[in-house]
Amino acid sequence: MPRPTDSSSWKRLEQHAAALAPHTLRDLFAREPDRGERLAAEGAGWRLDYSKNRVTDETLSLLFEFATDAGLRGRIDAMFDGERINTTENRAALHVALRADRDACIEVDGVDIVPEVHTVLDRMASFAGCVRGGNWLGHTGRPIRNVVNLGIGGSDLGPALATDALRAYADRNLTLRFISNIDATDFTEKTLDLDPAETLFVVCSKTFTTQETLTNAHTARRWIVEALGTDAAVARHFVAVSTHAEAVARFGIDAQNSFGFWDWVGGRYSIGSAVGLSLMLSIGPEHFGEMLSGFRAMDGHFREAPFERNLPVLLGLLGVWYANFLGTESTAVIPYDQYLARLPAYLQQLDMESNGKSVALDGTPVDWTTGPIVWGEPGTNGQHAFFQLLHQGTRLVPCDFIGFCQSLHPTGDHHDLLMSNLFAQTEALALGRTPDEVRADGVAEELVTHRSFPGNRPTNTLLADRLTPESFGALLALYEHKVFVQGTLWNVDSFDQWGVELGKTLARRITPALSCAEEPELASHDSSTRALIRHYRRRKLP
Ligand code: G6Q
């Protein structure tokens, strides 16, 4: 794989960035009256308006050339064909198989994996039907009314986001909770008002060794056994989602109540697998299937649409343009939909864990910027908080604005007001407000600079008709593929996470020093860590 900085398109993009610098978005819109219609693309129910970006036709054609130089087309095919593109873990990254049609054929090592995928989906559907229908009874014979997912990272963020996002499609008789943090506050607060006799825990862990999840699972086990008086209750109140069948059995969960997935599903790409079980319990198998068809529609668009009209490719290239040629550090995602409040948190993991890398695929250090810092909050709330910096701060932060043409809760003029805020913000960010315009409004001279807006601040706008399981699935697939496009262009492995693995081992080294009765041997730690441990030991509860 060539180093991106060696390609001739990279060098020309650098020169082009310098040449384009004096031309603001105000100039570009004035010069091209049809820009807003022209720089837009559609796929899988989403419309992307990318006209409010600091790009010209020349920028775009150089970016497409760069994608071609980086071998993007071949990498897309390699991913869909199940090649082991996650080279540091020697695995395929085949989340697209999780949403493949029943009659599709996708092979890993010569074996078609689609039948297995559908076998698990069918088992999930029948289990969900049983629980939702009140036919799965707890140990004391009461139907399940509460479902608690125990998982963290990829085994939490996806189902937690989706359960929030698709709440309008949920069975409101079921209470869904997500416990991820090893901080006992999470478990305590989220189980405080639940009746153990009506509570089902979904222990969701690919490896079934993750400290946080296993600690919470053991606490949950005690909570159930103490309340219901017998170990036998575990069988009716726990199910597992994991690739590690033996560890699940060791915990005491029957294989019949365990839902598997595969090593070619990365945690943060796993929402379409059994990791989505709690979501399926909430919204039902049919809506879950609709979400998968949304994912599938975007997969098809990504694989087939020419780069010029390909939403993930466009978003990916624009992000590279800002990070590598205009020096931006972060990107914000602002969903104008309260149901998507947790989307930024989900995208933080998806993007930053995938592309927060500083070595290339061949193990050599990169000397180009890779994954951005991703952050955001729903609009309009963000407008009353950090938008000040977006409009008038010294940093350039490209933003994605996401909205829907129809509200799921049409109430008075709320939706028009919400969407007018979205449109107004992107317009103001792009065009700003010149000192002359401010003066023309009669603003006192000493306030003119304070009340002027430089503009030229780029945004993408993504619009779909309605927040449905399909449009939601397509949106997540759009970002999954955008991240993959960028990982390809930066020549990094977007599917490993060695930084996370380190964290998993480091804490285990310190835990014994916090709890032993003797003054522990702390020589292996630095003086700061030693002092902190000593202070903690002196002050902690006996
Ligand atoms: C995701 C990461 C990571 C993982 C969690 C939970 O891509 O690998 O966030 O999902 O560490 O891991 P387990 O599912 O194995 O408990």
Q: Which tens digits make up the pLDDT trace of 369-383? A: 999 999 999 999 999
Contact 160, 216 (CB under 8 A): no
Please give the average per-residue pLDDT across 151-169, as a whole number.
98
Low-confidence winner among 33-37, 71-75, 96-100, 524-528 (lowest mean pLDDT): 524-528
Residue 350 in contact with ligand 1 by CB distance below 6 A: no
Token duo for residue 157: 């963020």
Residue 206 in contact with ligand 1 by CB distance below 6 A: yes
481: CA distance to ligand 1 center in Å?
19
Residue 482 in contact with ligand 1 by CB distance below 6 A: no
**Mutation test of ligand 1: which of 203, 210, 248, 501 has the most ligand atoms closer than 8 Å to its C-beta?**
210
**Predicted local distance difference test score (pLDDT) of residue 504:** 75
| Alpha-carbon distance values, 180 to 153, 190, 212, 485 (Å) | 8, 11, 7, 30
**Which residue's alpha carbon is at the smallest distance from atom 11 of ligand 1?**
153
Does residue 517 carry a pLDDT above 80? no
By C-alpha distance, which of 484, 493, 499, 491 is closest to 369?
Answer: 491
Q: How far apart are the C-alpha atoms of 387 and 390, rounded to whole Å?
A: 5
Report the sign of the C-alpha dihedral through residues 158, 159, 161, 162, in that order.
positive
By C-alpha distance, which of 47, 104, 99 is closest to 475?
Answer: 47
**Mutation test of ligand 1: which of 500, 501, 505, 506 has the most ligand atoms closer than 8 Å to its C-beta?**
500
Residue 179, burial from CB neighbour count under 10 angstroms (0-12, 13-18, 19+): buried
Question: 3-state DSSP call for residue 112?
Answer: strand
Q: How far apart are the C-alpha atoms of 439 and 455, rounded to whole Å?
A: 17
- Closest atom of ligand 1 to 152 CA is 6
465: CA distance to ligand 1 center in Å?
33
Q: Which tens digits make up the pLDDT trace of 423-432? A: 999 999 999 9
The verdict on whether 415 is a catalytic residue reads no
Q: How far apart are the C-alpha atoms of 51 and 34, rounded to whole Å?
A: 10
151: CA distance to ligand 1 center in Å?
8
**Predicted local distance difference test score (pLDDT) of residue 375:** 98
**Predicted local distance difference test score (pLDDT) of residue 516:** 78
Q: Who contacts 493 (Cβ-Cβ below 8 Å, separation ≥6)?
A: 85, 86, 87, 88, 357, 361, 487
Q: Who contacts 462 (Cβ-Cβ below 8 Å, separation ≥6)?
A: 46, 47, 48, 49, 400, 401, 402, 403, 475, 478
The residue count of the chain comes to: 542
Backbone angles phi, psi at 460, to 5 degrees: -105, 145
Q: Who contacts 165 (Cβ-Cβ below 8 Å, separation ≥6)?
A: 339, 340, 342, 343, 467, 472
Does residue 20 carry a pLDDT above 80? yes
**Which residue's alpha carbon is at the smallest distance from atom 16 of ligand 1?**
205
* 532 Rama class: left (phi>0) / alpha (psi -120 to 50) / beta: alpha
**Predicted local distance difference test score (pLDDT) of residue 505:** 77
**How far is Cα of residue 429 from the mean position of the Cα atoms in its chain?**
25
Residue 500 in contact with ligand 1 by CB distance below 6 A: yes
Residue 205 in contact with ligand 1 by CB distance below 6 A: yes
Residue 155 in contact with ligand 1 by CB distance below 6 A: yes
Cα dihedral angle (317, 322, 324, 330), rounded to 10 degrees? -110
315: CA distance to ligand 1 center in Å?
26
Does residue 521 carry a pLDDT above 90? no
By C-alpha distance, which of 203, 206, 191 is closest to 257?
Answer: 203
**Predicted local distance difference test score (pLDDT) of residue 523:** 83
Q: How far apart are the C-alpha atoms of 395 and 47, rounded to whole Å?
A: 28
Backbone angles phi, psi at 414, to 5 degrees: -50, -45
More confident call, 2 vs 264? 264
Of 384, 414, 450, 535, catalytic: 384
Q: Which tens digits make up the pLDDT trace of 493-507? A: 999 999 988 877 777
Residue 247 in contact with ligand 1 by CB distance below 6 A: no
Of 244, 391, 504, 525, catalytic: 504
Residue 215 in contact with ligand 1 by CB distance below 6 A: no
Does residue 1 carry a pLDDT above 70? no
- What residues pair up with 399 in beta bridges, in sequence order? 332, 459
The verdict on whether 118 is a catalytic residue reads no
| Alpha-carbon distance values, 445 to 74, 391, 428, 441, 452 (Å) | 58, 20, 21, 11, 11
Of 353, 377, 470, 480, catalytic: 353
Task: Specify the amino acid at residue 72.
Answer: L
Residue 268 in contact with ligand 1 by CB distance below 6 A: yes
The verdict on whether 237 is a catalytic residue reads no
**Rg, the chain, Cα only:** 25
Instruction: Read off the DSSP letter of residue 534.
Output: H
Contact 106, 97 (CB under 8 A): yes
162: CA distance to ligand 1 center in Å?
17
Q: Which tens digits make up the pLDDT trace of 403-446? A: 999 999 999 999 999 999 999 999 999 999 999 999 999 999 99
pTM, whole model, 2 decimals?
Answer: 0.97
Q: Which residue has the tokens 């466009």?
A: 314
